[in-house]
Structure 1
């Protein structure tokens, strides 16, 4: 598999290098030079196969012969043997695809674990690698869990102080060992800016063997393509021609993966881009003007991002496929409507939703047409937003054992201003 840097198209690397480097020069994201086109006949065959062997076949088609099939299979088996995704019917023409049944109760568990296994195969020289990533809530826990106690890997996670839920924080700030966590006194966008600056710093790159494990990294993104095939596998055949997917968008990795799945042949009728009040992209699609506002803190905090990294990849997909980017459906949701539809899902349909899924459900309801079958993505377990869910729905949530075991554990965390030199000192300290 060959990939190019979107910012510098002459910079071409293979899949292994793209995984190891994370980012290209000038902080450019890597994008596949060629994408396979899977025929309708082959899609039908794939949808009959179970999640793990199907995902191995899809990822082997994408990655090619560069990584042995047995190693791809081993990586897929390790990552996708977690409690698998489920589809729950909400009403006649709407379901929720729940992706939060992994060890940190978020959709990112699958992709993070796949990346960890692939990196372990690629690190043949046993070099110490530093994984540096920013999180707006769920990435941190998924990455920390995937790489915890892994030999020759140091993980450094930046998160916006006071802007993620207590349970999200407990899932990665209580680990210690090879996991370093840093609370930044600022927004997620400032955390992301620090990550990008680090990738541009020669000393950091030279002495830390720097990499990233959020959806910047192509291995995580490719793994997420497999979710969308699983949606079709779990959906009744009579609905498959009219599937409309509403995706809660933060850094836009899941939407990118969905568009890649569509581009290689999965017959998704429409993808809907759903955001909260941090609506840079909906405003851009409406006006054609790129004007990110200051990030607002909301109850759907994993989506509190004003400058999503993966948007350049989405633009690249539309450019390459010669699709009209204005055909992409979109919408943004206020706090008031997010809460209103959490209540509707609970009172009317007995479904407990956390805020991100409610955002996706709200836009789906608005955009769904007759004869279409709508599926919104549930990307995190409601318990991760315990205080919000209990307050809005006036209920008491039952805590999964994984959460109750964490609550009294000590946290290991640095607290810093969004200052690059302070971060650099931490990264260069062994």
Structure 2
């Protein structure tokens, strides 16, 4: 698999090299020049999730890794289901929150951990990543206890739910967490700056574990196939995906699935008030506003890192931009969508509710709508209970951490402060 840096076409990498490096020169994202379609879609859709995913990932990665190795990665990573839950007559939720940290990022985080453990061959690695919520827990749990791999997770202080925070700040050992007094975009910029700093990049053997890493992105392709496999065959070419979007890795993976031949009719990019992409799709002007805090905090991103990959697929003629629409949902409509879902007998958290709102508004009569349920509603317990006016039960994974003390450090929004902190705890 040959990948090209989207900011510098002379900077190319194999899959393993891109996994190990994370980012390319000038903070560029690695991405394939083209995506060869699969020719046995019907056969693949009849397979179980893990078996199908091995075929998909082997096709994408190519001969660089043997099938037996990819099989080992998948079987160790994808140990949970992704069921399609019926919500209303022609709308379903793809529940991606049945993994150990109750969020869709368990798929990508666990697969990446397997890849990097194999590629590093015991050499020291430092994972540095920023999280707006679910990435932190998924990455922390995926890498917790792996020898020679240390993890540093930055998150915006006071801007993610307490239970989300507890899932990754209470682990300790090789997991180091840092609360930054700023928003997620600032945390993400600190990560980018660190990758541009040779002292840090080389001295700490730096890598990143958010959706800018190609291994996480490719793993996410697999659950789009799982969703369509659960739709009756005669309806599979009528599927519309509504994707709650923050950093846009999830939507990028869905478009790759379509390029592989999965019969997806179209996509909806659903955002909260941080609406850079919906406005861009309407006006053609990329004009990020200052990030605003919302109850769908994992989507509080004004400058999504993965958008250049989607733009590249459009610019290269791989994907028809007319098959993507964007829509932003404000706080009032988010809460209204949560109440509407509850009236249908389906309890949801704010991110999925935004995707449901956009889908129910835009879905045509003969289409099948699937919105992505990216996190268990209990991860946003306070918000869900306040909006719905009813208690929700905590799953055991959250009960186990709810009374634990967080081990995070706190820093100002300063790269020099972060650099000094990292060298003090990691060297």
- TM-score bracket for the superposition, by shorter chain length: over 0.9
Aligned counterparts, 1:338-377, within 5 A? 338-347=334-343, 349-377=344-372
Compute the displacement of 1:382 (Å): 0.2
Structure 2 CA distance, aligned partners of 1:322 and 1:174?
Answer: 43
Structure 2 CA distance, aligned partners of 1:330 and 1:236?
Answer: 27
Alpha carbons 1:137, 1:302 under 8 Å: kept: yes
Which digits, 9 at most, give the CA deviation of each residue in 1:136-170, with x for residues without a partner?
00000000000001000000000000000000000
Alpha carbons 1:242, 1:269 under 8 Å: kept: yes
Structure 1 CA distance, aligned partners of 2:45 and 2:322?
Answer: 30
Q: Choose from 109, 120, 123 the match for 1:112.
A: 109
Alpha carbons 1:2, 1:34 under 8 Å: kept: no
Aligned counterparts, 1:47-196, within 5 A? 47-81=45-79, 83-124=80-121, 126-196=122-192
Structure 2 CA distance, aligned partners of 1:322 and 1:20?
Answer: 27
Structure 2 CA distance, aligned partners of 1:33 and 1:332?
Answer: 30
Alpha carbons 2:112, 2:216 under 8 Å: kept: yes
Compute the displacement of 1:213 (Å): 0.4
Which residue of structure 2 lines up, in the alignment, with residue 20 of structure 1? 20
SS at match of 2:402: coil
SS at match of 2:84: strand
Q: Choose from 403, 413, 418 the match for 2:398.
A: 403
Alpha carbons 2:255, 2:319 under 8 Å: kept: no
Alpha carbons 1:20, 1:211 under 8 Å: kept: yes
Structure 1 CA distance, aligned partners of 2:400 and 2:320?
Answer: 49
| Greater shift in the superposed pair: 400-409 or 207-216 | 400-409
Which digits, 9 at most, give the CA deviation of each residue in 1:287-337, with x for residues without a partner?
111111110100000000000000000001112235442541110001000
SS at match of 1:78: helix
Structure 2 CA distance, aligned partners of 1:109 and 1:201?
Answer: 29
SS at match of 2:263: coil
Which residue of structure 1 lines up, in the alignment, with residue 412 of structure 2? 417
Structure 2 CA distance, aligned partners of 1:89 and 1:46?
Answer: 23
What count of residue pairs does the alignment treat as equivalent?
425
Alpha carbons 1:165, 1:385 under 8 Å: kept: yes
Which residue of structure 2 lines up, in the alignment, with residue 6 of structure 1? 6
- Which ranges in structure 2 are unaligned for 5 or more consecutive residues? none
Compute the displacement of 1:68 (Å): 1.6
Compute the displacement of 1:242 (Å): 0.3
Structure 1 CA distance, aligned partners of 2:145 and 2:330?
Answer: 40
Aligned counterparts, 1:189-204, within 5 A? 189-204=185-200
- Which ranges in structure 1 are unaligned for 5 or more consecutive residues? none
Matched, 1:330 2:318: no
Which digits, 9 at most, give the CA deviation of each residue in 1:349-391, with x for residues without a partner?
1100100010000000111112001010000000000000001
Alpha carbons 2:241, 2:267 under 8 Å: kept: yes
Structure 2 CA distance, aligned partners of 1:389 and 1:416?
Answer: 30
SS at match of 2:258: helix
Measured on the aligned residues, the alpha-carbon RMSD in Å equals 0.9
Compute the displacement of 1:30 (Å): 0.1
Structure 2 CA distance, aligned partners of 1:290 and 1:233?
Answer: 36
Alpha carbons 1:343, 1:392 under 8 Å: kept: yes
Which digits, 9 at most, give the CA deviation of each residue in 1:65-94, with x for residues without a partner?
11121110010001111x210111111111
Structure 2 CA distance, aligned partners of 1:285 and 1:410?
Answer: 43
Aligned counterparts, 1:228-243, within 5 A? 228-243=224-239
SS at match of 1:90: strand
Compute the displacement of 1:285 (Å): 1.2
Which residue of structure 1 lines up, in the alignment, with residue 296 of structure 2? 300
SS at match of 2:9: coil
SS at match of 2:34: coil
Compute the displacement of 1:218 (Å): 0.0
